[in-house]
Homo-oligomer: A and B are copies of this chain.
Amino acid sequence: MNNRPIGIFDSGVGGLTVLKEVEKILPFEDIVYFGDTARVPYGNKSKATIIKFSRESANFLKQRKVKMIIVACNTSSALALDNLKKSYSIPILGVIGAGVEKAIEVTTNKKIAVIGTKSTISSGNYQKLIVGKDKAIKVYSRSCPLFVPLVEEGILSGEIVEAVIEKYLKDLRDRGVDTVILGCTHYPLLKSQISSYFKSAVVINSAKEVANQVKSILESRKMLNRGKRKSKVEFYLSDQPEDFVKLAKLFLKRTISNPRIANV
């Protein structure tokens, strides 16, 4: 057993979709969440910059004595995970692998769509991972840069969302994909709109799949917190907490304790 907290980092608020799923299935685990809100978003920045920022975030969590790190940002997972894994001895988990495994499991016509930020999509990581596991699968990908600002504006349905979804996803729907991976931690908040648009396709929330992976890793390594008290979640940000607290309510459906500012 290991009672140290789980560390989660993201460029900002998006990783809260992962935190939410982890809390749900691991209610006795303490969590330290770090959001790099001074430099958000990562999604349209270069690999070198994303690696630099991700390392600083991971180092901060390491100082908080976490027992594992979840890279709850698809962009960091796509571009910095390999680099991070080389630097730490504790388990480090990205959000891409879990979504990919689930997608391969559920697709029947072997046509999978992946949507995410510019950097995630242009990294080609989702595509490589999927085809590496099953060459017969066709992967169609699309970056959707307006989805994050829409979510952060709290615009989750209505005319604007429908027009933006049509603009970004029409091609993918026309291809007849039967599985859609939400390759950005903000996108689960648009899941029901995206699901209605695709009608019969299965839409995969990677956050949920990652939480399952976290549980099985902690179990197999005997690292679960065996305490039975309600877990403690600490929030640290690299910039102001106001917007974050408001958005956290949207993401978590509860009020969070005031985040602290951390200089990374």
The interface residues of chain B lying within 8 Å CB-to-CB of A145 are: 149, 152-153
User: Counting CB contacts under 8 A, is A160 at the interface?
Assistant: yes
Interface residues on A, range: 20 to 34
* Contact present for A49 and B239 (CB under 8 Å): yes
Distance to closest chain B CB from A35 (angstroms): 12
A171 contacts partner chain B, Cβ-Cβ < 8 Å: no
Whether A137 sits at the interface, judged by CB under 8 Å, is no
Copies of this chain present in the complex amount to 2
Which among B37, B46, B118, B160 is the interface contact of A160 at CB below 8 angstroms? B160
A221 to B46, CA, bound (A): 41
Give the distance in Å from the alpha carbon of A153 to the alpha carbon of B117 in the complex: 12
1/0 contact trace for A9-43 toward B, CB 8 Å?
A: 00000000000000000000000000001110000
Residue A217 is within 8 A (CB to CB) of chain B in the complex = no
Query: Quick one: which of A132-175 are within 8 Å of B by CB?
Result: 145-146, 148-150, 152-153, 155, 159-160, 163-164, 167
Residues of B within 8 A of A149 (CB): 145-146, 148-149
In the assembled complex, the CB of A23 is this many whole angstroms from the nearest CB of chain B, namely 26
Q: Which residue in chain B gives the minimum CB-CB distance to A37? A: B45
Interface assignment of A192: CB less than 8 Å from any CB of chain B: no
Q: Does A240 contact B (CB under 8 A)?
A: yes
In the complex the two chains form, what is the Cα distance from A163 to B161 in whole Å? 10
CB distance from A247 to the nearest CB of B (A): 10
Q: Which residue of B lies closest to A147 (CB)?
A: B149
